[in-house]
Structures are given as C-alpha cells and as structure tokens.
Amino acid sequence: MKVVALAGGVGGAKLADGLAQVLPTEDLTIIVNTGDDFEHFGLSICPDLDTVCYTLAGLANPETGWGQASESWVAIEAAKALGAPGWFNLGDRDLGTHLERTRRLRGGDALSAITADFCRAWGIGPQVLPMSDAPVRTIVQTRDGDELAFQNYFVELRCEPEVRGFRFEGIEAARPAPGAVDALIAADLVVICPSNPWVSVAPILAIDGLRAAVADKPVLAVSPIIGGQAVKGPAAKMFRELGIAPSALAVAQHYGDLLAGFVLDTADAGQAEAVQGLGIMPLATATLMQDTAGRARLAAEVLEFGGYLLTNA
Ligand code: FO1
C-alpha cells in the first residue's frame, strides 16, 4: 500500500517513524510542515523537518522530541556568554544541521534537494519532503491584536498568548515541493499524523494544489487530542481559545469531509458514534506511542484500518 503521511511536530514524527518501520521504504512519502521555520543567528532552521528526520534516523532527543540525543551545548553557551539570545536552545550537533542547510540554501539549492541529501546521509529510506521549497511562515494572531512569528509564540512566549487566528506568510507564492503531488497521485492512502491541526497540518493543506491532491484520496487522521488534552503542545489550548471545546470529535469535525476515517484513543471511544455521524469511519484504539514498538503497532493498526477503508469506502 502506497502511503503519504502529513506530519509536523513531535507526534507527527512518531507516527511517521512507525509507518517507516512497517512499510517498504518506497511505499512511504512524508510531507512535512515548514511553517515553523525561521532564521536565527542568520541560520535557516526547519524544526519540523529536523524532528521528522532525527526521529526516523534514531537521532532524536527522547526527552524533548526535538533536537538530537546526547547533545552538547558548548557553542550556544559561548554565544550567550557574549550576549546572544538564549531562548532558543541550539545544540552542537543540531548546529551542524543548521550550518549545512544554511550553506546549501545560500548556494541556491532547493530545500527539498537538501532534505533528500540529508536523509541519505542519515540513512533514512522513505522520501521526506518539505511541503514547499518556497518559504512559508506561520504567524500567530493573538487576542491582543499582536502578530507573533511562530517560534517566538511557541518557545520564547511558551504558547502563553491567547490565539485569535493564524496566517501563513508566503503561502500565496508557495507551490508544492517537487514530488509531493506525484506522491499523492500515486498514493493509495493519505495519513494525517497526530499533529497540531492549526499550525502543523493547516499550512500543508494551504499549499496551492496540496489540499486538492489530498482530497482526491482516501484520507484518515489520527487524533492529537486524547481526553480533551493534547499529548504534547498547544493544540487543545488553541481549540479552546478559538471557541471550540477540545476533543477528538472536535478534531474530526475540524478536518470534516476531507476524512474517510478517524483514529481516536480508547479514552474517547464514547465519541466514536458522533464521528460516524459525520460520515467518517471511526477506529478507537490505544494511540499513545510510548516507544518505538508502540509507534510501529499504531502504524500497523492505522494501515489495517486504511485497508478496510479502501475496500469499504
Ligand atoms: N522547543 C522549545 O520549547 N525550546 C527550545 O529551545 C527549542 C529549540 C529547538 C531547536 C531546534 C529545533 O529543531 C526545535 C527546537 N524546539 C524547541 C522545538 C520547536 O520549537 C518545535 O519543534 C516546533 O517548531 C513545533 O513542533
């Protein structure tokens, strides 16, 4: 079964890793959010691409989910001693990624080509694609009327400002990365990973042509909300601040008729009937991925469910 996964953030990276464990390498393409990208110390930083790649390569820091494991912080500490901003922690190994990506981008190489080369160097089999080679920046619009660059909202301000909405700067000029639409056309199934619908999945679906290509296929999503809480990050808080009670059902309603299937946690099995009422086939199962084996188990269940949708949709 050929699968395209849409992913951003730590939860998305974990399911992408599970899918990479259970699918033949040529049957999986992961399209990754780049709306979180930003420039810091003059370096082009792509957090969601790096989180997906580090996770698939087994390099990711298991505690944080982002950055690399067995990291050191010598360079950033030396910079902070000279007055550098310290709110965004850049580890020494991670810096290597940002230095080389920035060097290649400055040399005119496309982000998708750089990512393919990094995947080869990291021994990652499946195709990992940025949603676009053009820069797209998620801007968080706050209740106070401010507009915050994503990392300033997410890291510097620790997601505290109340959100009113989002906009994706550069989205008008952004086209799908080379290979993204082809992967979707060839796909049997699209999996929306348990990522933040507002700031990890929405930017991908906002890229001209991607939503239409996704909508042409059977799509299933895995809920990032369990028991009204996000497993990680501000998704539930964002739902609340946008006037929607956070729940697995709210996520299914958010994606609406894009979905043929929706995977929710057993803790929310009581919402399965309401999901079915939306015309979306529900599957309630254990969706918390505690370790590598748990990622593969959930991925296998997602694919089995996808196969059922294909034969019964
Ligand atoms: N998140 C934090 O909460 N604090 C950090 O200092 C931080 C540093 C960082 C460095 C590289 C990287 O790729 C990600 C980093 N993140 C950090 C996470 C990042 O803000 C998020 O991964 C995404 O943008 C949202 O998923």
What digits encode the pLDDT tens for the residues 62-103?
A: 999 999 999 999 999 999 999 999 999 999 999 999 999 999
With the most atoms of ligand 1 within 8 angstroms of its CB, the residue from 54, 66, 92 to mutate is 66
DSSP state letter for 66:
S
Are residue 148 and residue 297 in the same domain, yes or no?
Answer: no
How many Å apart are CA 262 and CA 191, to the nearest integer?
10
Are residue 97 and residue 238 in the same domain, yes or no?
Answer: yes
How remote is the CA of residue 59 from the centroid of ligand 1, in Å?
15
How many Å apart are CA 113 and CA 129, to the nearest integer?
9
Are residue 162 and residue 241 in the same domain, yes or no?
Answer: no
How remote is the CA of residue 40 from the centroid of ligand 1, in Å?
12
What digits encode the pLDDT tens for the residues 146-167?
A: 999 999 999 999 999 999 999 9
Are residue 38 and residue 181 in the same domain, yes or no?
Answer: yes
CB 93 within 8 A of CB 156: no
The enclosing domain of 203 has a CATH number of 3.40.50.10680
pLDDT of residue 208: 97
How remote is the CA of residue 114 from the centroid of ligand 1, in Å?
20
| Sheet bearing 261-265, strands edge to edge | 127-130, 28-32, 3-7, 189-192, 219-222, 261-265, 281-285
What digits encode the pLDDT tens for the residues 217-229?
A: 999 999 999 999 9
- Over residues 18-33, mean pLDDT: 98
By C-alpha distance, which of 36, 31, 5 is closest to 18?
Answer: 5
Are residue 85 and residue 157 in the same domain, yes or no?
Answer: no
What digits encode the pLDDT tens for the residues 82-93?
A: 999 999 999 999
How remote is the CA of residue 80 from the centroid of ligand 1, in Å?
18
How remote is the CA of residue 245 from the centroid of ligand 1, in Å?
26
With the most atoms of ligand 1 within 8 angstroms of its CB, the residue from 63, 87, 118, 155 to mutate is 155
37 lines ligand 1 (CB under 6 A): no
88 lines ligand 1 (CB under 6 A): yes
| Residue 232 CA, distance from chain mean position | 12
Number of domains into which the chain is organized: 2
Q: Cβ contacts of residue 289 below 8 Å, gap of 6+? A: 11, 14, 15, 18, 295, 298
Which residue has the CA at smallest separation from atom 19 of ligand 1? 47
Are residue 283 and residue 307 in the same domain, yes or no?
Answer: yes
The chain-wide mean pLDDT, for the chain, equals 98
Are residue 257 and residue 307 in the same domain, yes or no?
Answer: yes
- Crossing angle of the two packed helices 9-22 and 292-312, in degrees rounded to 10: 80
- Over residues 125-153, mean pLDDT: 98
CB 57 within 8 A of CB 67: no
Are residue 286 and residue 183 in the same domain, yes or no?
Answer: yes
Beta bridge partner(s), residue 265: 285
Q: Nearest 10 degrees: CA dihedral of 228, 258, 22, 181? A: -130
Domain of 130, in residue numbers: 3-136+172-311
pLDDT of residue 312: 86
pLDDT of residue 40: 98
Are residue 50 and residue 148 in the same domain, yes or no?
Answer: no
3-state SS, residue 33: coil
pTM exceeds 0.85: yes
Are residue 193 and residue 279 in the same domain, yes or no?
Answer: yes
Q: Cβ contacts of residue 56 below 8 Å, gap of 6+? A: 13, 16, 17, 20, 30, 119, 122, 124, 126, 128
Are residue 55 and residue 10 in the same domain, yes or no?
Answer: yes
pLDDT at 313 over 80: no
How remote is the CA of residue 48 from the centroid of ligand 1, in Å?
9
285: exposed, middle or buried (Cβ count in 10 Å: 0-12, 13-18, 19+): middle
Instruction: Work out the percent of the chain whose per-residue pLDDT is above 70.
Output: 100
pLDDT at 175 over 80: yes
Which residue has the CA at smallest separation from atom 14 of ligand 1? 47
196 lines ligand 1 (CB under 6 A): no
How remote is the CA of residue 100 from the centroid of ligand 1, in Å?
18
Are residue 11 and residue 99 in the same domain, yes or no?
Answer: yes
Q: Which of 120, 151, 168 is the last residue of a domain?
A: 168
